[in-house]
């Protein structure tokens, strides 16, 4: 039983940073349970949820002492910037440094000015506390200075989707290389790799196509105005950067073992 508790603690900590603490707290409180024995597990689960919610709410107040601030989880309907899914907020994966928040806010304003009504959707950011704490499965999101952005999409009638992404969680709707282009990692089958194909997930994706104009506008801003504000690296698959016609020394390839970047844009600041 101790082993299962240890596994649950580790899984919750790796997934949400503070979930493991809430789990230990709930187990400790559960020892004092005086109600019917068969309800103890339910009581522990309820206590975990209450503790987790309390700690998550406190995190946004405490995070600034660790140099992190939350990105907007409860954006209004017409907001120009929002966390793409409440999932990232529930899991406490929506924290960045104030400098990064300023940069992504400026980018969102630029996009809304150029394409009125557009919302910039952000995905995984960082946890609220401690530099160096890994935000799996990302290899580098550990210091508040990295952020993933969702692509922009159009439906089959070429209508721009203002808020929606092709994937319900923003990730794993891959833009495969056109048939005449060979991807940099085509044919490789590394055992240790985060380059997942996620075939099982594809049924959840909508029938949208990449909105190249708006996606290009994001990339151009990041390597132009963004670079002046501290953007130091942008990750996107080479075949996609070539297809979109964006070249810059700031656009890099993450390698064939790191997560794919043909379903989102990653950027980081100095």
Residues that bind Zn ion (CB under 5 A): 148, 266
Closest approach, Cβ 29 to Zn ion, in A, equals 36
CB closer to Zn ion out of 108 and 259: 259
- CB of 113: closest distance to Zn ion in angstroms? 26
Name which of 63 and 147 has its Cβ closer to Zn ion: 147
Measured from the CB atom, the residue of 93 and 266 that comes closer to Zn ion is 266
CB of 180 to Zn ion, least distance (A): 28
Q: Of 51 and 259, which CB lies nearer to Zn ion in the complex structure?
A: 259
Q: Which is nearer to Zn ion, 260 or 266 (CB)?
A: 266
State the nearest-atom distance from the C-beta of 135 to Zn ion, in Å.
Answer: 9
Q: What is the C-alpha separation between 224 and 211, in angstroms, rounded?
A: 20
Distances (CA, A) of 83 to 17, 48, 92, 106, 165: 18, 25, 11, 15, 12
> Residue with the closest Cβ to Zn ion?
266
Of residues 52 and 165, the one with the C-beta less far from Zn ion: 165
In the complex, least distance from residue 139 CB atom to Zn ion, rounded to whole angstroms: 9
Query: CB of 78: closest distance to Zn ion in angstroms?
Result: 27
């Amino acid at each position: 039983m101790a082993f299962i508790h240890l596994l649950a603690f580790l899984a919750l900590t790796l997934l949400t940073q503070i979930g493991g603490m809430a789990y230990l707290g709930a187990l400790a409180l559960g020892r004092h349970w005086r109600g019917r024995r068969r309800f103890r597990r339910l009581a522990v689960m309820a206590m975990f949820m209450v503790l987790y919610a309390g700690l998550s709410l406190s995190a946004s107040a405490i995070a600034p002492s660790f140099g992190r601030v939350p990105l907007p989880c409860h954006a209004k309907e017409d907001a120009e910037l929002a966390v793409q899914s409440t999932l990232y907020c529930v899991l406490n994966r929506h924290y960045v440094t104030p400098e990064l928040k300023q940069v992504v806010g400026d980018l969102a304003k630029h996009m809304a000015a150029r394409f009125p009504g557009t919302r910039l959707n952000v995905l995984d950011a960082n946890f609220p506390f401690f530099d160096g704490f890994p935000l799996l499965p990302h290899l580098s999101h550990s210091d508040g200075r990295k952020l993933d952005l969702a692509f922009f999409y159009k439906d089959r009638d070429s209508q721009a989707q203002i808020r929606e992404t092709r994937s319900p969680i923003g990730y794993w709707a891959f833009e495969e290389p056109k048939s005449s282009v060979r991807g940099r990692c085509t044919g490789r089958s590394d055992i240790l790799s985060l380059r997942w194909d996620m075939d099982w997930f594809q049924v959840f994706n909508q029938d949208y196509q990449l909105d190249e104009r708006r996606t290009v506008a994001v990339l151009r801003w990041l390597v132009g105005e963004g670079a002046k504000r501290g953007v130091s690296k942008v990750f996107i698959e080479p075949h996609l950067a070539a297809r979109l016609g964006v070249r810059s020394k700031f656009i890099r390839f993450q390698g064939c073992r790191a997560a794919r970047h043909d379903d989102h844009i990653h950027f980081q600041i100095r």
